[in-house]
């Protein structure tokens, strides 16, 4: 059996999916919340992503963060990682050209051993080139995930 | 109102005051979100409700977003708003922790120092 994939979703994937404004993000979250991912996939979430999404959701409704936490508490999500990556890794992602605040996301993905970082943001997709993990948009990652599931059957 | 001190037992159990216990008697699970020096317990699941699944939670979030007009935002507006939030969180919560790394980095990359 192939090893469990670790994936990091950036904040905009959640918001675009909730807004249904990007079909790839909508389809990816629909697939993740309805599939059976045990032994296949785990989603690691840095506290930066938690903070950002919750701030947006609070403006939508006071009850919205609770729904988001319900998703984070469900498989394939692995809750929120409240520890932060080490300085050396953050420095690495600044060296690779990311702004200070985005460096934390790249460093986190490498630190948790992610195979994929999934942002829906041209800035990230075009700028970040690393051997540590692949950077894909939601639609491209969903295709990989579906292929993997077919191969598992 | 009594003192709402919560004792932590050796096995990790939280011993709530009578008043707190009554307030949250209908809660089955909490999400514990961590800040620097405190945790925030957010009721996730109530005993009198049908269990909230991830699928239903996502559907309800979408419904809320539609009702509040959040869905009318363009992709550019969403990204701009998220970037502003990320910069603020970085400044307030992360930058102080990584000051040494920041100084080390800008010592050799002064051209990239934010103005």
- Domain assignment present for residue B102? The answer is no
Name the one residue in this structure whose structure tokens are 């103005």: B115
Q: How confident is the model at residue B60 (pLDDT cuts 50, 70, 90)?
A: very high
Pairing mode, if any, of strands B27-34 and B39-46? antiparallel
Task: Tell me which chain B residue has its CA closest to the CA of residue A64.
Answer: B61
Q: What is the mean pLDDT of residues B59-72?
A: 90
Stronger pLDDT, A132 or B2, i.e. the higher one: A132
Question: Is residue A105 very low, low, confident or very high in pLDDT (cuts 50, 70, 90)?
Answer: very high
Q: Count the domains in chain A.
A: 1
Give B52's contacts in chain A (Cβ within 8 Å).
67, 70
Cα(B97)–Cα(B91) distance, rounded to whole angstroms?
Answer: 10
Give the Cα separation of A14 and A64 in Å (integer): 13
Average pLDDT over residues A86-102: 92
Asked if the structure places residue B18 within a domain, the reply is yes
Domain count, chain B: 1
pLDDT digits (tens, 9 = 90+) for B1-58: 456 788 889 998 988 888 888 888 899 889 988 877 888 888 888 887 778 899 999 9
pLDDT band for position A85 (50/70/90)?
Answer: very high
Residue A127 near residue A104, CB atoms below 8 Å: no
Between CA A111 and CA A106 the distance in angstroms is 9
- pLDDT for A126 equals 73
- pLDDT confidence of residue B3: 67
The ipTM is: 0.92
Query: Which residues does B8 contact at the CB level (< 8 Å), separation at least 6?
Result: B14, B15
CATH code of the domain containing A98: 3.40.50.1010
Q: Is B96 on the interface with A (CB under 8 A)?
A: no
pLDDT given at position B1: 44
| CA-CA-CA-CA dihedral for B4, B10, B13, B14, to nearest 10 | 10
Does residue B90 sit within a domain? Answer: no
| B83, pLDDT greater than 50 | yes
Q: Which domain holds residue A131?
A: 5-152
Distance CA A23, CA A17 (A): 8
- Asked if residue B83 belongs to a domain, the reply is no
CB contact at 8 A, A12 and A109:
no
Please name the residues in contact with B32: beta carbons below 8 A apart, sequence gap of 6 or more. Answer: B39, B40, B41, B42
Closest chain A residue to B88, measured at CA: A101
pLDDT digits (tens, 9 = 90+) for A24-76: 999 999 999 998 888 889 999 999 999 999 999 999 999 999 999 999 999 99
Name the minimum distance, in Å, from the CA of B87 to any CA of chain A.
6
Chain B residues touching A16 at Cβ < 8 A: 75, 78
Residue B1 covered by a domain: yes
A111 contacts: CB under 8 Å, gap ≥ 6: A85, A86, A89
- State the average pLDDT for chain A: 91
* A16, pLDDT greater than 90: yes
Phi, psi at residue A84, to the nearest 5°?
-105, 155
Q: What is the pLDDT of residue A142?
A: 96
- Full residue range of the structural domain in which residue B17 is found: 1-52
With CA atoms as reference, the chain A residue closest to B41 would be: A66
Residues of chain A with pLDDT > 70, as a percent, come to 98
Token couple for B62: 């979408």
């Amino acid at each position: 059996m192939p090893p469990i994939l670790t994936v990091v979703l950036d904040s905009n994937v959640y918001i675009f999916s909730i807004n249904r404004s990007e079909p790839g993000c909508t389809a990816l979250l629909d697939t993740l919340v309805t599939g059976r991912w045990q032994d296949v996939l785990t989603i690691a979430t840095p506290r930066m992503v938690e903070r950002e999404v919750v701030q947006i959701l609070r403006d939508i409704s006071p009850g919205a963060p609770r729904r988001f936490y319900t998703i984070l508490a469900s498989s394939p999500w692995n809750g929120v990682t409240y520890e932060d990556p080490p300085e050396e890794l953050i420095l690495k992602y600044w060296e690779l050209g990311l702004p200070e605040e985005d460096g934390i996301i790249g460093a986190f993905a490498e630190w948790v051993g992610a195979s994929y970082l999934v942002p829906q943001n041209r800035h990230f997709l075009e700028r970040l080139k690393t051997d540590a993990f692949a950077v894909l948009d939601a639609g491209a990652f969903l295709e990989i995930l579906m292929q993997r599931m077919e191969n598992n059957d | 109102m009594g003192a709402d001190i919560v004792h932590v037992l050796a096995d990790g159990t939280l011993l709530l005051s009578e008043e707190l216990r009554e307030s949250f008697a209908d809660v089955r699970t909490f999400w514990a979100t961590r800040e620097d020096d405190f945790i925030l317990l957010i009721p996730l699941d109530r005993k009198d409700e049908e269990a909230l699944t991830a699928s239903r939670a996502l559907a309800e979030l979408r419904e809320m977003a539609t009702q509040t007009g959040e869905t009318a935002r363009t992709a550019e507006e969403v990204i701009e708003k998220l970037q502003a939030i990320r910069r603020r969180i970085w400044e307030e919560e992360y930058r102080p922790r990584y000051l040494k790394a920041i100084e080390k980095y800008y010592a050799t990359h002064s051209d990239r120092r934010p103005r």
